[in-house]
Amino acid sequence: MYYIYINVSVSYASILERTAATILNGYIKEVRPHNPDGPVIVKVGLTVTQLLHVNEKSQTLRLDGRLLMNWHDSRLMWDSTQYNGTRSLRLPAESLWQPDITLYNSGGNMELNNLRLTIFSNGMVSYSPKLIIESPCTVDQWGSIMVCHFKMGSWAYDGYSLDIRDYYGKGVVSLDDYSDSTDWSIVNTTIRRNEKFYQCCSEPYPDLTFTVTLRRRECSDCLIDLDVLPIVLVAILVPIQFLIPVATRERATFTGLLFVAGILVHLSLQQSMAIAQRVWQTDIKTYYNSTLVLIVISVVVSLFNIQLCSTDRKRSRIPAIVKKIFLSGLNYLVLVRSPWTSQLPENLDVKVIPGDELATENASRLERQVEHLIRLVQSLVSSDNGRQRDRDVGAREEWRALSLVIDRLSAIIFFIIFVLYTADLMG
């Protein structure tokens, strides 16, 4: 029994050796297969088995898989009936001609493990080397979607000598052996054939572009939650600070804390992204910088408004043009009433008694006139002091009303700005 098994194995091995020797006799692997009907058609496909590394900082993807290729070589045909029904052979890849399929991507890299390829009696050649490929990608503004393109084609042959086609003809990358084990998942794949013409030559140069779209798996890592939300909350507080009374100590404290919070959130995000090797997206960076500028401007406006209500300004009048704009126009827009103004007369109608009439009166009447004159003088002094107090109160109310108008206008303006540039980011 063992003798029969060994004898059959030796016989089969000798048949394979004889078949390979016959096929490779006079075979020149450096010469491209000849197709009288047109170019050599090479079908190329990609199967992904694992995502090795997703580098967000450099925006590159490194994956593991197989490169699928088959083509027809008429020099490798044989009659299987003459070789005991042998229909296929596995030979070292370096012993036969292979299409020079190359990764075109700038900055990309493709490593092939040259194993054995399979040839069939009808001249078809199947080659599926193990592949490790790396290519630049693009990341969306939230950092949750990554799109990677792998552009492949022949390096030496034009489209009239070698034509490249989709392996399966389905326009998708094979994921049958894919192992989903990273923080990213493959959500879409496409294959697109292109032809490019150069000014030097009339021949087309075809290529296949394999596109792999990744999505971040866990939402806890998404930029919308981790990175944008803190600065959005800080930005909301910018218009809110103008609702706090300007003359209170809490207003100055709140304004200072708001500025510090904006700086800390910005620095915290920079540190976290550096540790995680994540990249600043342009829109996110612009949003953070815009928010910091908004905070600085609001702090300046708030400090200016606090200065308007300082003690030194309470006795001076508001300039007429400022009063007309803010206290007789814009104040109605923000629902602020016009400040109270003194209604006391500036001049009193005082009756002066001539001296010659006093001389003709008796002593008692003179005394009454003197008393009346004393009361009149006291009244004049009291009226002057009252008018001064009224002027001080009026000036104080005007400055207070002006600061209230500026506060409410600032709250409205900063809120509109916040809504507009936040909506632009979300859109």
User: What is the spatial distance between Cα 106 and Cα 151, in angstroms, rounded to a whole number?
Assistant: 10
The pLDDT of residue 24 is: 87
The pLDDT of residue 67 is: 94
3-class DSSP assignment, residue 387: helix
The pLDDT of residue 13 is: 64
Write out the H or E segment, with its range, that includes residue 65. Answer: strand 60-72
Write out the H or E segment, with its range, that includes residue 131. Answer: strand 130-139
The pLDDT of residue 303 is: 85
CATH of segment(s) 12-221: 2.70.170.10
Angle between helices 229-240 and 249-275 (to 10 degrees): 170
Q: Cβ(163)–Cβ(193) under 8 Å?
A: no
The pLDDT of residue 110 is: 87
Give the β-pairing of 109-113 and 130-139.
Answer: antiparallel
At 362, list the tokens: 């008796």
Q: Where are the domains of the chain?
A: 12-221, 223-426
Q: Cβ(70)–Cβ(167) under 8 Å?
A: yes
> What Rg, from alpha-carbon coordinates, does the chain have?
45
The pLDDT of residue 229 is: 79
Tens of each residue's pLDDT in the chain, 427 residues: 444 444 444 455 677 888 888 888 889 999 999 888 889 999 999 999 999 988 877 889 999 999 999 999 999 999 988 888 889 999 998 999 999 999 998 777 888 887 889 999 999 999 999 999 999 998 876 677 899 999 999 999 999 999 999 999 999 999 998 988 677 889 999 999 999 998 888 899 999 999 999 988 764 444 455 567 788 888 888 899 888 888 788 888 888 898 898 888 878 777 666 545 455 556 677 788 888 888 899 888 888 887 777 655 555 677 778 777 777 777 777 777 766 544 444 444 445 445 554 454 555 666 666 666 776 665 555 545 445 455 555 667 777 888 888 888 988 999 999 888 888 876 6
Locus of tokens 């909301």:
236
At 329, list the tokens: 């126009």
pTM of the model: 0.58
At 227, list the tokens: 């990175």
At 83, list the tokens: 């070789």
At 417, list the tokens: 């700005």
User: What is the spatial distance between Cα 347 and Cα 351, in angstroms, rounded to a whole number?
Assistant: 12
The set of residues, in sequence order, having a beta carbon less than 8 Å from that of 208 and lying 6+ positions away, is 44, 151, 152, 153, 164, 165, 166, 191, 192, 193, 194
Q: Single out the residue of 15, 249, 203 nearest to residue 121, CA to CA.
A: 15
At CA 20, angle to CA 17 and CA 26, rounded to 5? Answer: 130
Q: Cβ(125)–Cβ(118) under 8 Å?
A: yes
The set of residues, in sequence order, having a beta carbon less than 8 Å from that of 240 and lying 6+ positions away, is 411
Q: Cβ(416)–Cβ(294) under 8 Å?
A: no
The pLDDT of residue 350 is: 46
Per-residue model confidence as pLDDT tens digits over 173-222: 999 989 886 778 899 999 999 999 988 888 999 999 999 999 887 644 44
Nearest 5°: phi and psi at 64?
-115, 140
The pLDDT of residue 220 is: 43
